[in-house]
Amino acid sequence: MISRRRLLGTSLGAGISWLTLPVPDVLRAVAADARAEGPAYQIDRHVAARLFDGERCWCHPRAGIVPGVGRNGAPRVVMTMNTLHLEGSDVFKGMYSLYTDDLGKTWTEPTARESLAPRTEVIDGVERPVAMSDFWPGWHKQTKTLLGTGHTVVYTPDWKVRNPRPRHTSYSIYDPATDAWSDWQKMAMPAGDEFRDSGAGCVQRYDLPDGDILLPIYYRPPGKNSRVTVARCSFDGRTLSYVEHGNTLSVDDKTRGLHEPSIARLGDTFFLTIRNDKTAFVTRSGDGLQYEPMRTWTFDDGSELGSYNTQAHWVTHGDALYLVYTRRGANNDHVFRHRAPLFMGQVDPERMCVIRETEQILVPERGARLGNFGVTDVSEDMTWVTVSEWMQPRGVEKYGSDGSVFVAEVEWVVGSG
């Protein structure tokens, strides 16, 4: 492990001079300042694994917990990740799993999981490899099950990604007694071509109190670019089933469309963050299914956030909401699509913007991109953000990257939130 690096992440107010404001404005400013202040936190970082041999590196490291299974009553934190083969684009030939029973002090070695490995399927008369990727494990409280969701990637016989192609939401279930994942399955969607290319790759879900799951998906109808919706799904501990979906969000801007939506809930409001080639969008909903028109992500001063063509995810704690993201404008023009460093900033939920003064670096950049990551609530006072150094394009190691899988531990100060 690397030595842990700690910093204080408290978000302080904007330094307004109260004496210069009329009383109503003072009250509004105090309320805004209280929202901006948020809980205090500290950041520890450690490395759970490394891989860079010139041919492969780790990608998509995301984790889920199994409560009470770890040492001295701690949760077991189970991480999954794909191997990325560097000779092509998005070539995922293996899925691995590892875990820690002592909150990251020690990790097991990453182990290949045949139950999560690529399969061969006959598609349009041709045998083609189909991999499960962009996977995210999450504890399903109602069934006491660690359920992972992702999507399938259909390749040509020589492991190239070509469109059009079918795509499905894939899922698997973890057994802590045997440290094994079930054979991955595909979630059935409504018949027809509308959802032939649809999936929940890299998305953050939300589990409702009754056990139903709000699962954001992105899909590409024939002849159109990709769009986003949120599906309500049922899960009985074994089978993930589509029930319904909400309104469709789309753009007509000559890009590939919308991708990798993630959902969070704060109070009675659901929030959705969405990837687009040119920018990133945010929207909200009262029921988790029907969403307002999207807005471009900005800072609270009105300037654009600068995140584009990559994913963002949520952190919630108490009555505070945070966004984890990458962006332009951080002396990072040498990083592919500006996907490092990895930032976290508090969100103003009323204005749906990031409060600039609260921005902190979770993981510094070392040349490699950090745009594919996960968020895990490990306990009431600890949230983990897991991310690997994606060692493409070749040569990024000259800036210091070595294929590390980082765990950024956000430790909430007792009593915050």
Residue with tokens 């408290």: 10
Does the pLDDT of residue 365 top 80, yes or no?
Answer: yes
Closest residue by Cα to residue 83 from 44, 25, 135, 143? 135
* Percentage above 90 pLDDT, the chain: 88
pLDDT digits (tens, 9 = 90+) for 280-306: 999 999 999 999 999 999 999 999 999
Quote the pTM value: 0.91
- Provide the β-strand partners of residue 295: 282
Q: Residues of 378-396 as b/e, b for ≥16 C-beta within 10 angstroms?
A: beebbbbbbbbbbbbeeeb
Q: Are 374 and 406 in contact (CB under 8 A)?
A: no
Report the Cα 215 to chain-centroid distance in Å. Answer: 13
pLDDT tens-place string over residues 341-355: 999 999 999 999 999
Question: Can you name the residues that pair with 47 across neighbouring β-strands?
Answer: 406
pLDDT score of 416: 57
**pLDDT attached to residue 318:** 94
Q: How far is CA 335 from CA 264, 332, 339, in A?
A: 28, 5, 6
Which tokens hold the place of 289?
């299914």
Q: What is the pLDDT of residues 172-190, one digit of tens each?
A: 999 999 999 999 999 999 9
3-state helix, strand, coil in the chain (%, to 5): 10, 45, 45
pLDDT, position 253 = 87
Burial 150-177, CB ≥16 within 10 A → b, else e: bbbbbbeeebeeeeebbbbbbbbbbeee
CA pseudo-torsion sign 279, 284, 288, 292? negative
- Reported as type and span, the H/E element at residue 351 is none
Alpha-carbon distance 342 to 407, whole Å?
Answer: 12
d(CA 367, CA 374) in angstroms, rounded, equals 20
Report how far residue 371's alpha carbon sits from residue 61's, in angstroms, rounded to the nearest whole number: 11
Dihedral in degrees, nearest 10, Cα atoms 164, 168, 174, 175 = -110
Question: Residue 415 — very low, low, confident or very high, per pLDDT cuts 50/70/90?
Answer: low
Q: For residue 10, what pLDDT is reported? A: 40
pLDDT of residue 3 exceeding 80: no
- The pLDDT mean for the chain works out to 92
CATH architecture group of domain 7-412: 6 Propeller (2.120)
* Structure tokens, 376: 């895990």
Burial of 223 (0-12, 13-18, 19+ CB in 10 A): exposed
Give the pLDDT of residue 387: 98
As beta bridge partners, residue 52 has 57
The ranges assigned to domains in the chain are 7-412
Confidence of residue 25 (pLDDT cuts 50, 70, 90): very low
37 pLDDT band, cuts 50/70/90, is: low
Which H or E run contains 278? none
Sign of the CA dihedral running 118, 387, 173, 72: positive
* Whether pLDDT at 16 is above 70: no
Nearest-angstrom CA–CA distance, 150 and 133: 6
Is the omega angle on the peptide bond into residue 67 within 30 degrees of 0, that is, cis?
Answer: no
Two structure tokens written together for 63: 């984790």
Beta carbons within 8 Å of 411's beta carbon, 6+ residues apart: 41, 42, 43, 44, 381, 382
